[in-house]
């Protein structure tokens, strides 16, 4: 059995990026946890302090319902300001993730691609790499970056970061229905096609990634780091 941690910036990212893979991990006997760093919703108000906290609470309720659909063992919320991670000291985000790594000791971490358009995704990716640096008594063995609809494909500025170029494909054909059920819980986050963050957009992406790897449906990742220890360790 492996322990897996998904580090996501916002509620629904954990499903859009890795929901099918999570369901597969669970089916194979692994324990999967998520930490949602951002509170969600509040950036849709003119000022954060004017945001409807009832909507935030409802979104977090949706997160727990969604988590049950794919089999997350537990979801942790960090409540950083939505779409304002760049206003927070990166060290604060790093320390939150470090605490989760110490607590759970995951062998595998999934997180955002550092080249996403969304600033919270960028900060999350950087914070994960910092928190999971290979020092001390415990070392995360594998780190993967996932793509997030309406962020990864919308960053057309490749001057600083190359486009998302997956090199790991996970067959989720048998688990896509669970991913769908999970995403349907996020009523406030779903949009109508042709917006990418839609049920049709999710369907198209899973089939596109599947075709690239000879599968019916897949989720695609970039391998960031993999450590292979000595035999017996």
What is the chain's mean pLDDT, rounded?
A: 92
Assign residue 193 the CATH number of its domain.
3.40.50.10320
Q: Name every residue whose Cβ is closer than 8 Å to that of residue 10 and which is 6 or more positions away in sequence.
A: 36, 37, 38, 40, 82, 120
- The verdict on residue 28 lying in a domain is yes
- The verdict on residue 233 lying in a domain is no
Kindly report the pTM of this predicted structure.
Answer: 0.94
CB 32 within 8 A of CB 25: yes
The count of structural domains within the chain is 1
How far apart (Å, rounded) are the C-alpha atoms in residues 60 and 56? 6
Number of H helices, E strands in the chain: 6, 7
Residue 20 has pLDDT above 60, yes or no: yes
Outline where the chain has alpha helix (H): 13-27, 53-70, 90-104, 119-131, 176-184, 199-212
Look at residue 48 in the predicted model and tell me its pLDDT.
53
Residue 146 has pLDDT above 80, yes or no: yes
- The verdict on residue 135 lying in a domain is yes
* Domain of 176, in residue numbers: 3-226
Q: Could you read off the pLDDT of 215-227 as tens digits, one per residue?
A: 999 999 999 999 9
Structure token digits, residue 140: 């995360």
How far apart (Å, rounded) are the C-alpha atoms in residues 31 and 193? 34
More confident of the two residues 86 and 39: 86
Of 25-29, 57-61, 202-206, the least confident: 57-61
- The verdict on residue 146 lying in a domain is yes
Q: What does the DSSP assignment read for 176-193?
A: HHHHHHHHHT-TTT---T
- The verdict on residue 44 lying in a domain is yes
Percent of the chain with pLDDT over 90: 78
- The verdict on residue 231 lying in a domain is no
User: Beta strand pairing status for 108-112 and 31-38?
Assistant: unpaired
Outline where 132-193 has alpha helix (H): 176-184
Q: Could you read off the pLDDT of 62-89 as tens digits, one per residue?
A: 999 999 999 999 999 999 998 889 999 9
């Amino acid at each position: 059995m492996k322990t897996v941690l998904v580090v996501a910036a916002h509620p629904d990212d954990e499903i859009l990026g890795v929901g099918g893979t999570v369901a597969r991990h669970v089916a194979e006997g692994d324990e999967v946890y998520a930490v949602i760093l951002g509170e969600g919703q509040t950036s849709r108000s003119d000022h954060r302090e004017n945001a409807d906290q009832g909507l935030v609470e409802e979104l977090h309720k949706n997160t727990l319902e969604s988590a049950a659909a794919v089999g997350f063992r537990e979801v942790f919320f960090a409540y950083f300001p939505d779409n304002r991670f760049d206003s927070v000291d990166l060290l604060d985000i790093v320390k939150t993730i470090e605490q989760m790594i110490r607590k759970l000791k995951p062998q595998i971490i999934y997180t955002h691609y550092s080249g996403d358009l969304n600033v919270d995704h960028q900060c999350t990716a950087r914070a994960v790499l910092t928190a999971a640096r290979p020092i001390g008594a415990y070392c995360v063995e594998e780190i993967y970056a996932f793509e997030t609809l309406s962020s990864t494909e919308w960053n057309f500025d490749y001057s600083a970061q190359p486009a998302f170029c997956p090199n790991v494909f996970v067959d989720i054909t048998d688990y896509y229905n669970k991913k769908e059920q999970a995403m349907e819980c996020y009523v406030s986050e779903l949009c109508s096609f042709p917006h990418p963050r839609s049920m049709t957009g999710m369907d198209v992406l899973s089939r596109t990634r599947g075709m690239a790897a000879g599968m019916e449906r897949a989720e695609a990742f970039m391998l960031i780091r993999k450590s292979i220890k000595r035999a017996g360790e």
